[in-house]
């Protein structure tokens, strides 16, 4: 068994209208070397090189797995966070046990284009999403580190168009359906 424990920290996103939680689980072991193996097990194209991490969507949450921590966005509550982390720790520990039979992979998924995202945003730089400009927000969405729903002033047609565009690049885990 690789991971035996973790410590949670929770916070609310900067957007004052946000109801959801963001949780970070700090792991008791460094799993940096295991990330390419986890990439193969989870889907095979989730790898992010800078910094080394895996980014996946699971039940409409964005999960970022790096060497010492797992960050999960858009959590309903702490109970949901615990359910997801227990699943991930199980996957990590199983991958650790079976790593001799798994081909590691650093394959990266194609990313959405920042300008295509920006074209669909209001471009008012109002900061309601918690980012200083729409451009910064677009970069974060393109990297898979922010979700399009975090722009509260986006009109419904543009929200749908953005989700349709991002859907072409969706990093869905096999477990997410
Ligand atoms: S992305 Fe939306 S919320 Fe963020 S600054 Fe631009 S308009 Fe405002």
CATH code for position 138: 1.10.15.40
Compute CA distances 133 → 11, 113, 123, whole Å: 22, 17, 8
Query: Model confidence over 10-41: pLDDT tens digits?
Result: 988 766 666 789 899 999 999 999 999 999 99
- Taking only the tens place, the pLDDT of each residue in 152-177 is 999 999 999 998 898 877 654 333 33
Same-domain check for residues 61 and 121: no
The two structure tokens encoding residue 6: 């973790």
Which tokens is 30 given?
């460094």
User: 79 with 21: CB under 8 angstroms?
Assistant: no
Asked whether residue 106 is domain-assigned, the answer is no
Same domain? 16 vs 95: yes
Would you state the pLDDT for residue 48?
Answer: 80
Q: Could you identify the atom of ligand 1 that is nearest to the CA of residue 15?
A: 3
Residue 13 lies in a domain: yes
Residues contacting 14, CB < 8 A, separation 6+: 129, 130
Ligand 1: centre distance to CA 109 (Å):
26
Q: Which domain holds residue 51?
A: 6-101
The H or E element containing residue 113 is none
The per-residue pLDDT for 172 is 42
Edge-to-edge strand order for the sheet containing 21-27?
6-11, 21-27, 69-75, 61-66, 53-58, 47-48
User: What's the mean pLDDT in 46-72?
Assistant: 88
State the distance from the centre of ligand 1 to the C-alpha of 61, rounded, in angstroms: 20
pLDDT tens track for 105-138? 998 877 889 999 999 999 999 999 989 999 999 9
Structural domain count of the chain: 2
Q: Which residues line ligand 1 (CB under 6 A)?
A: 121-122, 124-129, 131, 134, 137, 151, 153
**Of all atoms in ligand 1, which is nearest to the CA of residue 122?**
7
Residues 139, 84 share a domain: no
Distance of CA 103 to the CA centre of its chain: 23
Asked whether residue 46 carries a pLDDT value surpassing 90, the answer given is no
pTM > 0.75: no
CB atoms within 10 A of CB 17: 7
**Minimal-distance CA residue to ligand 1 atom 2:** 151
Q: Answer yes or no: do 86 and 164 share one domain.
A: no
Q: Are residues 95 and 14 in the same domain?
A: yes
Cβ atoms 24, 9 nearer than 8 A = yes
pLDDT of residue 153: 92
Residues 62 and 143 in one domain: no
One domain, residues 18 and 48: yes
Q: How many C-beta neighbours within 10 Å does residue 147 have?
A: 19
Distance (angstroms) between ligand 1 centre and the Cα of 19 equals 18
Distance 11 CA to ligand 1 centre (A): 21
120 and 97 in a common domain: no
- Final residue belonging to a domain, choices 101, 125, 148: 101
Query: Of the spans 13-17, 42-46, 50-54, 159-163, which averages the highest pLDDT?
Result: 159-163
**Same structural domain, 96 and 141:** no
Q: Within this chain, do residues 152 and 66 fall inside the same structural domain, yes or no? A: no
Q: Are residues 10 and 76 in the same domain?
A: yes
Q: What is the reported pLDDT for 62?
A: 83
Q: What is the pLDDT of residue 145?
A: 78
Last residue within a domain, chosen from 101, 123, 141: 101
pLDDT at 54 over 70: yes
pLDDT (0 to 100) of residue 19: 77
The answer to whether residue 22 is domain-embedded is: yes
List the CATH number of the domain containing 64: 3.30.310
- Residue 102 scores a pLDDT above 70: yes
Q: Do 67 and 145 belong together in one domain?
A: no
**Cα 99 to ligand 1 centroid, rounded to whole Å:** 43
pLDDT of residue 175: 35
């Amino acid at each position: 068994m690789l991971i035996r424990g973790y410590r949670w920290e929770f916070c609310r996103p900067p957007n004052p209208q946000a109801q959801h939680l963001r949780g970070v689980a700090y792991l008791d072991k460094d799993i940096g070397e295991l990330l390419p193996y986890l990439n193969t097990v989870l889907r095979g194209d989730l790898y992010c090189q800078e910094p080394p991490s895996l980014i996946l969507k699971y039940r409409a949450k964005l999960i970022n797995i790096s060497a010492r921590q797992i960050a999960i966005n858009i959590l309903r509550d702490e109970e949901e966070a615990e359910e997801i982390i227990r699943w991930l720790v199980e996957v990590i520990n199983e991958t650790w046990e079976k790593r001799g039979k798994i081909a590691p992979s650093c394959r990266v998924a194609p990313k959405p284009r920042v300008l295509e995202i920006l074209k669909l945003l209001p471009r008012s730089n109002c900061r309601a999403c918690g980012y200083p400009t729409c451009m910064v927000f677009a970069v974060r969405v393109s990297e898979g580190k922010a979700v399009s729903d975090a722009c509260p002033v986006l009109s419904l047609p543009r929200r749908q168009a953005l989700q349709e565009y991002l859907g072409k690049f969706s990093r869905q885990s096999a477990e997410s359906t």
